[in-house]
Amino acid sequence: MEKLEHPLWIVQLVNALLGPLVHRVGEALGYHFTGHDVIPPFMVMVLLIVVFITALCLFVRARLSVEDPGKLQVLVEDGVRAVMGLLDEWIGPKGHQFLPLIATLGLFILLGNYMGLIPGLMSPTASINVTLGCAITTWVYYHIQGIRAQGLVGYIKHFWAPPGAPWFIGFLYFPIEIISHTSRVMSLSLRLFGNMFGHELVVLVLFSIIPFLVPVPMMFLGVVIGALQAFIFMLLSIIYLQGAVAVEHHVDEHGHEAPDGHHAPAAA
């Protein structure tokens, strides 16, 4: 498979510009580089996305206007409003504080997925390093938010037993919860990585068989998968956050739960 990959010019450019500096810093920190590229391709692509998003945001902010919003401004506002609606639907009005991380993750993954469709670039999300980074960020973030919302003791208690259950159920419940929470990192990262890498592989195989028009349906599938996976990553992050910051439900004497909002299905 390595033989089918040709070096990308932008990777070579960035390596020629920044490679010696990164090499020297890495050597000083005691890290020894192997291979010919000091900066791996996925890192270059991530930097490209960062530059693009920053430029886009600065551009939109520069021509921000209430009376006469441009097309780009309307587009960006709609995107932000869609994520806000998602947060409202799952977490409630206090979910707006999570907008920065969730929307950034969504935008980053969406751009990362779509990058693979542009000739001369590749999907950084087809590398396990990037998806694992996103997943660990989400994981750490929702635990921190859970501890902030419920306090350390309250948060650990919510691992021990579900509300309304007797306390000794925890001996059964606690190990399952621990496994379920640790497997979330794997499930988030492997889902995105498997989808994007599998898509690249399929396109690559079709290109090596018939390099004309036949890979196009697969590339169209890549457009659908890219948007869907970005949305799903965002949605699962929101659901994990909702599970972490949810305050205990009030159960009245008839055993009915108080109508205090939305109840999420359990998600692995």
Partner 1 sequence: MSKRSVLTFAFVMAGAFVPVFAQEPASAYPADMVRWSIITAGFALGIASGLAALGQGRAVAAAAEGIARNPGAAGDIRGVLLLGLVLIESLAIYVFVISLILFFLKPFAA
Closer of 44 and 188 to partner 1 (Cβ):
188
Q: Of these, 40, 194, 202, 218, which contacts partner 1 (CB under 8 A)?
A: 194
Mask of contacts with partner 1, 238-267, x by CB under 8 A? ---------------------------x-x
Q: Of these, 195, 237, 243, 246, which contacts partner 1 (CB under 8 A)?
A: 195
Residue 131: burial class (beta carbons within 10 Å; 0-12, 13-18, 19+): buried
Burial track 231-251 (b if 16+ CB lie within 10 A, e otherwise):
bbbbebbbbbbbbbbbeeeee
Q: Of these, 98, 139, 141, 193, which contacts partner 1 (CB under 8 A)?
A: 193
Determine the Cα–Cα distance for residues 236 and 267; give it in Å rounded to an integer: 8
Mask of contacts with partner 1, 69-108, x by CB under 8 A? ----------------------------------------
Q: Which residue's entry shows tokens 């208690």? A: 157
- The secondary structure of residue 164, as a DSSP letter, is T
Pick from 82, 77, 42: nearest CA to 57: 77
Quick check: 181 binds partner 1 (CB under 8 A)? no
Size of site (CB under 8 A) for partner 1:
18
Q: Please give the helix or strand (H or E) that residue 50 lies within, else none.
A: helix 41-62
User: Residue numbers of the site for partner 1 (CB under 8 A)?
Assistant: 1, 187, 190-191, 193-195, 197-198, 201, 228, 231-232, 235-236, 265, 267-268
